[in-house]
Amino acid sequence: MTAYAPIREVSQFLSRFELSSEELVRGQLDRAEKLSDLNAFISLLREEAISEARRLDAMRRRGEVLGPLHGIPITAKDLVWSKGRKTTSGSKIDADFVPDRDAPALASLRARGAVLLGKTNLHEFAYGVTNVNPHYGAARNPWDRTRISGGSSGGSAVALASGVGYGSIGTDTGGSIRIPSSLCGTVGLKPTYGRISRDGVTPLSWSLDHVGPMARTVEDVAVLYEAMSGEAIDAAPSDDGSPLRDLKVGLHTRYFFENLTPEVEGAVRNALTTLSSLGASIVEIHVPEIEIQGPCRNTIAFAEASCYHEKNIRTRPQDYGEDTRDLLRLGLLVPATDYLTALRVRRSVVGAFRKAFEAIDVLVAPSTPATAPPIGSSVLENGEELRSGLLRLAGPFNTTGLPALSLPCGFTGNGLPIGLQLAAAPRRETLLLRVARALEMRSGPGRLPAV
Amino acid sequence: MLDELPPPEAERLKKRFDAWREAMDRLKSEAPPISEDEPLFASELEKET
């Protein structure tokens, strides 16, 4: 068994007593330490994780098994509260914050037997997409250590891509689960707004924040999502050769296929061909409101983030990194009238997308218009400014609150992963997982980075 | 606030603010008329979930 095995396979090893959770956890912690140059973690919880694994091993020997996650090591982004353990939010401001309880998202995985290995690196307060963190170092992309992981859940994606942890809890306010998943070749699901509790998760922008699972495969994301949501998930597509027959796939060429690198566009169009071969029909759609959702989301995010940070940005500005400080100061300048206008415009954007999803089942788009740029770069390979470019294709589903998932769909000539994004109507996560799983099964085992 | 910041920071912030202001002014022209009962986005979506 390898560090990259699916949860189902690891669980079988544990069930047959061919491996103990303690052995598994020790091996994973050693691996994380060997790969510490990737800066995936802000803290590793060695003693706590080993002790918990022992407890779960003893339970298993007594025949008490909590489910498919029993004894499985996971990680959580370090703004997800962990009882009695530091939760820094990737910041100096909260460097010593120790929550008195677990976030429900984490508690739900622990209650099903998952073992928390450590807390992963993130863009400071989740307010950015590079994961170049001024306090804890830049999370490095395992496919090319000179490149960014993407963010803000970058440490989670790096850990997964480097074979540490079998799943992770991420958060997504403008793409922060899907962007690093795309750039690191992993899978991430941003569920419908409010589907997974945001309680016990340090907010960035409360009306845009989402909590969701990240893993190496769609199959594993489904296992984690089932545990986090309490919803029974059957993501297995039928095996009759046309598992996606009757599925209407929306293609929004304007906006989502503008200004892509040729390799990204080629890989996404190949995925569309695969979806057709699995029985899906492709329907071209156009939602004019797509053009206004970006500034609408920015205004909401600027105002809400600065509202949360108001006291600290006024009294301790020097304790924030430069890019986070600039954005928080900008938010202080947003008038209440503009925030309210943005909320009202948002309602019309939401309505337009819901109507569009009456004609289609899933929307297919790239997750990011280009692959991971070098650390320190301010532009993407397609020439777009880095921050707005990485947010452009993922952000619409935060403005609308619709569920969206990123999965790998190919590699560039220089070996960098390319991400495919699927989105659906509210609460259709199971459909997203089923379509993504059909693609995953067709593409076969994924490539692994040489870490 | 801009007056209180060191020049490089004030300049950066002004550039970002101007870009945001321009986009927001465009957005305002797209805003729907105010209806009598303006529900909150969050409560609407959460009701569904």
pLDDT digits (tens, 9 = 90+) for A296-334: 999 999 999 999 999 999 999 999 999 999 999 999 999
pTM: 0.96
Instruction: Tell me whether residue A81 is in a domain.
Output: yes
Do residue A326 and residue B16 have CB atoms under 8 angstroms apart?
A: yes
| Domain coverage including residue A182 | 7-229
**Band (A35; pLDDT cuts 50, 70, 90):** very high
What pLDDT, on a 0 to 100 scale, did the predictor assign at position A311?
Answer: 98
Residues A196 and A105: beta-carbon distance below 8 Å: yes
Helices (H) and strands (E) in chain A, counts: 15, 15
Catalytic-residue membership of A152:
yes
A274 and A145 share one domain: no
Catalytic-residue membership of A77:
yes
A184 and A263 share one domain: no
Instruction: Tell me whether residue A440 is in a domain.
Output: no
Q: Report the relative pairing of strands A362-366 and A132-133 from DSSP bridges.
A: unpaired
Question: Which of A8-17's residues contact partners 24+ apart within 8 Å by CB, and which partners?
Answer: A8/A68, A8/A219, A8/A223, A10/A72, A10/A166, A11/A68, A11/A69, A11/A70, A11/A71, A11/A72, A14/A60, A14/A70, A14/A71, A14/A72, A15/A60, A15/A65, A17/A60
Residues A112 and A296: beta-carbon distance below 8 Å: no
**Band (A447; pLDDT cuts 50, 70, 90):** confident
* Partners of residue A294 in chain B, C-beta under 8 Å: 23
pLDDT in tens, A81-93: 999 999 999 999 9
What pLDDT, on a 0 to 100 scale, did the predictor assign at position A381?
Answer: 98
A208 and A283 share one domain: no
**Band (A394; pLDDT cuts 50, 70, 90):** very high
CB-CB neighbours of A62 under 10 Å = 8
Residues A59 and A67: beta-carbon distance below 8 Å: no
Q: Terminus-to-terminus CA distance in chain A, angstroms?
A: 17
A310 and A182 share one domain: no
State the complex-level ipTM.
Answer: 0.87
Q: Write the CA distances from B35 to A293, A347, B2, B8, B17, integer angstroms.
A: 20, 12, 36, 43, 29
pLDDT in tens, A163-200: 999 999 999 999 999 999 999 999 999 999 999 999 99
pLDDT in tens, A260-289: 999 999 999 999 999 999 999 999 999 999
Closest in B13, B23, B45 to A326, CB measured: B13
A259 and A222 share one domain: no
A143 and A292 share one domain: no
CB-CB neighbours of A375 under 10 Å = 18
Which residue in A has a C-alpha nearest to residue B11's C-alpha?
A: A326
Q: At a CB cut-off of 8 Å and minimum separation 6, what does A324 contact?
A: A91, A123, A124, A125, A127, A128
Which residue in A has a C-alpha nearest to residue B22's C-alpha?
A: A295
Residues A406 and A421: beta-carbon distance below 8 Å: yes
**Band (A2; pLDDT cuts 50, 70, 90):** confident
Q: From the candidates A21, A152, A182, A367, which is the catalytic residue?
A: A152
Instruction: Tell me whether residue A279 is in a domain.
Output: yes
- The tens place of each residue's pLDDT in chain B, 49 residues long, gives 778 898 889 999 999 999 999 999 999 988 888 776 666 555 555 555 5
Counting the structural domains of chain A, the total is 2
What pLDDT, on a 0 to 100 scale, did the predictor assign at position B41?
Answer: 56
Residues composing chain B = 49
Interface test with A, best of B30, B37, B44 (most A CBs within 10 A): B30
A300 and A386 share one domain: yes
Instruction: Tell me whether residue A88 is in a domain.
Output: yes
Q: What is the CATH number of the domain that holds A396?
A: 3.90.1300.10
